[in-house]
Every structure is written in C-alpha cells, then in structure tokens.
Structure 1
Amino acid sequence: MNHHGDQAGLSLVELMVALAISSFLILGVTQIYIDNKRSYAFQQNQAENQEGGRYTLLLLQQELAKAGYRRRPDIPFDEAFPASNALDCDFGTGRAAKQFGTSQNAICIRYQPHNHLERDCLGNLPVNAAAIEDSPYTDAGEIIVERLYLDGNTLMCQTAHITSTTVTATGELVSGIADLRFEFGVGTASDDRRVSKYIATPDGPVLTIRYTALMRSSNPNLREGIDADTALDNWMNVTGISAEDTTVAALKTADKGNLYQISQSAVMLRNLLP
C-alpha cells in the first residue's frame, strides 16, 4: 500500500511567479514614492520663490516710498537734502533717489524720519528719536540714507543716520534672489508729472521706481527637459538683457536645474512729485 503525504513548500515555478509579481509591486510603489517626492519638492520650491518674491516686493515698496520725505514741506528740496556722499551714494543737491554708481541692482535713497518711531530697513530707530518726539512738525536734524543692493543671492541694506555725526549699519534682508534690476520712471521737461520712459540712469524728474527680481529656488535638479537658456529666456525678455551679457553668463554657470520666478512691481515716489 502506497502512502502520499501532503505537499510541502512551493515549486520553482510558483516561486518565480511570486517573485515577479512582488518585483512589479515594489517597482510600482517606489515609482509612486519618487513621483510624489519630486512633486512635493517642486511645489515647495515654487512656494519658496513665491513667498520670497512677495516679501521682496513688499519690502522694496515700503522702503522706496520713503524717498524724499520732508518733515517740513515748506522747505525746498535743495535745502532739505544738500549734496552728500554718504554710503558712496554721491547725492546731488535736492536728489533723494538715484542709481548706485553704474550698478543696475543697487539703489540709494534718503529721507527724513517721519516721527520718532520711524524705522529704517534694518529696523533701527532715528538717532534723534527723543528730540523728534518732543518737537513735532519741525526739522528732524537727521537724514536717513539707505543703499539697497544685491550681494550674491541676498538683498542687502546699508544705512547711514546723518546728524552731527554719522551712524552706519549693514544687514541682510532677503535671500534666494538670482538677479535684481532697478529702473527709474522719468518725465520730461514739458510734462514732469507723467512717466515717459523707464531707464537705469535718470535724466529727468524721477516719478516712479520699477524693480524686478528673479527668484531662484534653493534646491537643484527640479527641472526636467528644460535647459538654462529656456529657463532664463523670460528674464532676458523682461529686462532686455542680451544673451551675451556677463550677468546672463553668470546665471547660467550658477544654474543647477533650479526653479525660477520673476516678480515685478513699481512704486510712485509721491514725496518727489512736482
């Protein structure tokens, strides 16, 4: 009499089929994880660009709008703002907003503190805060100069509080900026209340300042199938920079597949309007 026991284990064919199915499942789950991780990184870096661009525009609008403020509007600009070379800005008599040297990503402004709580771009109060609080509607005896400029990928601010002495300070404001451009909206001799053009070096009454920031994500390798030329094409179109410009070459060299976003706005210099 023959006795047959129950089957134990798996056959080689069954084992190979199970391994094949498991491999496909593992590959599918891994691909889903990679896609979700890439999508999350893309969204996070886009949000980083958006928040950085929004903060940059708000900060510049807040600071640039102060240019030319006088506590006593009955005093002429030439008297309120004498010629000065504070922070190497080389202000002419009566000038309160200008390009810094020949740099298109640096600007100088100056103004008088509105009150004793007026803070500069670094959060510093006026040096004459106590005297200003006790004597409203009078000359503050103080001029605040700010130089806003791009250093590497960081928007910097340097300040000078000019009284009988000069107190200076420097600090970082916003990071993640690949490039920054300032343009001045100027009028004409016949119509000094309407912007006729935007230029880097003002040659007439300055009415507005336009600023354009190119934000760059902190994480690399987020673009697929898009080279640096294509990614920076809109920036060149908006700013009018040629492909041969040294700035474009530097941007391409620093590019590591990052994400970019352009943020642009303008502020009317109401204190300087005729």
Structure 2
Amino acid sequence: MTRAPRHLQTGLSLVELMIAVTLSIVLVFGLVQVFAASRASYVMAQGMARAQEGGRFAVEYLQRDARMVGHMGCVNDQSHLMSSLPSFGQLFLTDRANFESLPARTYTNALRFDFALRGYEAKGTGPGDTLSLGATPVAGAPDGDWTEALPSLLRTGAGEPAPVKGSDLVLIRSLSAESAQVSSLTVSADGSEATILVDGTGWASMKRNGVQPGLLAIADCRGATTFHVDSVREPGGGANVTLTVIAGGGKSELNRSAFNLRDSIDPTLMQIRVYRADSLAYYVGVSGTEATPALYRMRFTAAPGANAIQRDIEELVPGVETLQLLYGQDNSAKQTPAGVPSGYIDAQVTASDILPNATGREGWQRVGSLKLGMMIRSNDPAMAAQRSEAPSVLGVKVGAPDDQRYRGVYETNVALRNRLFGN
C-alpha cells in the first residue's frame, strides 16, 4: 500500500497572521501610551518647577525690599516725620517745609522720601471681586484702570513693559541696608556746600553692580537728610572716600536748598552714617514684542553730578500674571489720624481704602504690614487641566484661560519691621 506524501506547513495561516498583527498593535499602542504619559508627566513637572521657582524668587524680591520700608537709619520714618518738630529734611526741596516743592525734572516724584510706601489699586480687584485673565495680557490705561490715575514716574513709554490691567503697583522708598561710617562732616557757614569723609570699605558695600550711588542720605539717631552728591573721590584700598555736596543748586541741579540747623549732625558722636537713598516700584508688566507677563522692578537713580533722574526697568520673574496687595493699617487712623501710631494692626485694606485717604502721607505712615499675592504661570503649556473652581489671590477670584499652562498662587505677609511698635 502506497502512503500519500505528507506536506509540511510553510509560512503563517491567515488566522495566525491576524493574531500577530493584533498583538503588535496592542503592544505598540501600549508603548505609545507609556511614552505619552511620561512626556505629560515630565512637561507637568517642568511647568510646576518653573512656576514654583518663579514664585520663590518673586516673593523674595518683594519681601526683601518691603522690609526696608520706614528705614531711616537709627530711627524710623514715623519718628522723624510725625514729631512736633520733624527731623527729616531733603535738599531736593525748594521749600523745606513743602515736600512737593521738587525740581522740575522727569521722575523727580521718585524723591518723595516722605512717602516710604505708596500703592495703586487696580479697579475691580478687591477681596470678593472676580478677575478674568485673557490668553494675552492687556496693558492697562494709566488714567482709567486703577482707582487713582498712575503718576508720571509709573507710566511707561514706547518699547517699555507697560503695567498690566488688573494688577496692583507699589512704590517703595527707603534708605539702604548698607551704609558707611562718617568720620568728618564739614558744612560751609551759609550751608551751601558740605564735604563728607566716609569709610571706604562701607562705601564699597553701598555700590550696586560697581556703580557709584548719587542719591544719598546722612543720618543719626536725631535726624536724617537726603541729598544728591556732586562728586565722589575714591582713593581705593579701603581708604576714606570724600563726598562733595553742593546745596542750593550745584552741578546736578537736583539739590534746591541749603543745609540748615535741622541738618546739624555731630560726627564726633560716632553715630552718623551715610546711606544710599533707594526709590523702587514693583508691578506686573507686559512686553510689547512677546506679550508675556512678568514681574518688573523700576529703579530710580542719579549718578553723582548728573542733572536728571534715571529710570531703569528690569524684568525679575517671567510668568507673573497678577499682583494683588493688601496693607495692614494701624487702628489709630480711625481714631486720631494726626496722632501717634499705636502699632496695633486691625485692618487689611486695599490701597484705595487707606484711611483717612489714599492720597495723603498720614495714612500710609500707619501701614505696618504688607500682604502680597501673585498668580504665576509656566512659560509653556504643561498639560495642566482647567480647574473646576477659580483660584483665589488674596480674596480675588481669578479666572484663567484654558491654555494647559500650570498656574500657582503664592501669598505671604510681610511685617514692616522698621515700623514695629517701639522702633
């Protein structure tokens, strides 16, 4: 009997091929999902890290400068300005009794060192209000988007980052933390000229990025006087530095009055020091080229012998979308606005609610704390889902666009330590 030849199977059957293809598709799909999830997790982590990093830097910058509010050397601004005989003077003034009699120069309001703190509240951004953020930040109108029109020194020009609508601004003026010991002070008989000899090592610490400061103050425990220095002679090597001040209109033309009896400070008591007079402003701005929000700082300076105030705007932290500020005010503002501060903070109010009014110096001198809040976004989309409930920044509900960016809220309360009761 002859057997039929056996034929061995070669290749794959259709069923086997379909099963193999199906398994391959499932495997590839699983790998794609794993990589997609890993990428989403990485992008989210990066966005969160950038926002948190920005939040730390932004809070640090604002805290450091806010803590200097009221610093006028040995004694704070409340003691110098609220006594029956004020012991704070400015050579910038034509009339030493009128703090508004400043020289007719651009940005000279930056020299209002009688206003250590001054805020500007964005309309519709008080506690309980709702703020809607657009996909692209919008520059505010200086005359209409804040409860009080912005002063000229806070108005930006072409090519400069303009303040964003819906965000607060704050001006801070104080004497620097760095100072130099005065060893000699010689004032002419008519008060029109002074020569100040200061410690070279201390003077070196007062420089910012190696630049000689021109706006200065001389202070001890009895008084303080701000002025613009005409010339600086620095031998180097830690030797004493000689400052020459021409009062009543020198080369700089920023000093408009002479030294008087209230500026008489005795260097032999070894209490007198020279400080840098700092004038700053913080705000959230938008760049005209990239339309990206960021925290900016304005710095107002004048080089020795210069005849004008210079304004420098620097970007500090990108991604800051809104800045909200509340001010802790002394309760004596409700009772005796012209009296001595009690040091007891009983109200957190917006800039427009400062008592007795938002434009006078008396109310701002009773601010003892500053509460600040910011919303910061990641620079790029971070696969973040839209929140079901709008986040709150110091009581302001903020509606953000659904652009997949990670957003975080950062808040802190800063005690103005130079105005703590008893200082």
TM range (shorter): 0.7 to 0.9
CA distance in 1: counterparts of 2:47 and 2:382, whole angstroms: 11
- Between the two proteins, what is the percent identity of the paired residues? 20
* Comparing 130-139 and 178-187, the one that deviates more: 130-139
Q: Specify the alignment match of 1:160 in structure 2.
A: 300
Q: Specify the alignment match of 1:177 in structure 2.
A: 320
Aligned length: 258
Q: Specify the alignment match of 1:111 in structure 2.
A: 174
Q: Give the TM-score, by structure 2 length.
A: 0.53
Q: Specify the alignment match of 2:142 in structure 1.
A: none
Q: Deviations over 1:49-81 (max 9, x none)?
A: 211111111111111112222235388245256
Q: Specify the alignment match of 2:349 in structure 1.
A: 199
Q: Specify the alignment match of 1:214 in structure 2.
A: 375
* Comparing 57-66 and 165-174, the one that deviates more: 165-174
Maintained 8 Å contact 1:216/1:260: yes
What is the Cα deviation at residue 220 of structure 1? 2.4
In structure 2, the CA distance between the partners of 1:264 and 1:91, relative to structure 1 (3 Å rule), is farther
**Structure with greater proportional helix content:** 1
In structure 2, the CA distance between the partners of 1:24 and 1:93, relative to structure 1 (3 Å rule), is closer
Structure 2 stretches of 5 or more lacking a match? Answer: 94-98, 121-145, 151-166, 180-202, 217-231, 242-269, 287-292, 336-340, 356-362
What is the Cα deviation at residue 234 of structure 1? 2.4
Q: Deviations over 1:2-44 (max 9, x none)?
A: 5445322111111111001111111111111111211222222
CA distance in 1: counterparts of 2:275 and 2:233, whole angstroms: 9
The 5 A counterparts of 1:21-40 are 21-40=23-42
Q: Give the TM-score, by structure 1 length.
A: 0.79
Which structure has more relative contact order (CA 8 Å, sep 6+)? It is 2
CA distance in 2: counterparts of 1:125 and 1:210, whole angstroms: 32
CA distance in 1: counterparts of 2:368 and 2:170, whole angstroms: 15
Structure 1 stretches of 5 or more lacking a match? Answer: 243-247
CA distance in 1: counterparts of 2:396 and 2:370, whole angstroms: 19
In structure 2, the CA distance between the partners of 1:24 and 1:88, relative to structure 1 (3 Å rule), is farther
State whether structure 2 residue 282 is matched by structure 1 residue 127.
no
Maintained 8 Å contact 2:113/2:174: no
State whether structure 2 residue 206 is matched by structure 1 residue 143.
no
CA distance in 2: counterparts of 1:18 and 1:171, whole angstroms: 62
CA distance in 1: counterparts of 2:294 and 2:51, whole angstroms: 13
CA distance in 2: counterparts of 1:110 and 1:35, whole angstroms: 50
* Comparing 84-93 and 188-197, the one that deviates more: 84-93
What is the Cα deviation at residue 140 of structure 1? 3.2
What is the Cα deviation at residue 157 of structure 1? 0.8
In structure 2, the CA distance between the partners of 1:211 and 1:91, relative to structure 1 (3 Å rule), is farther
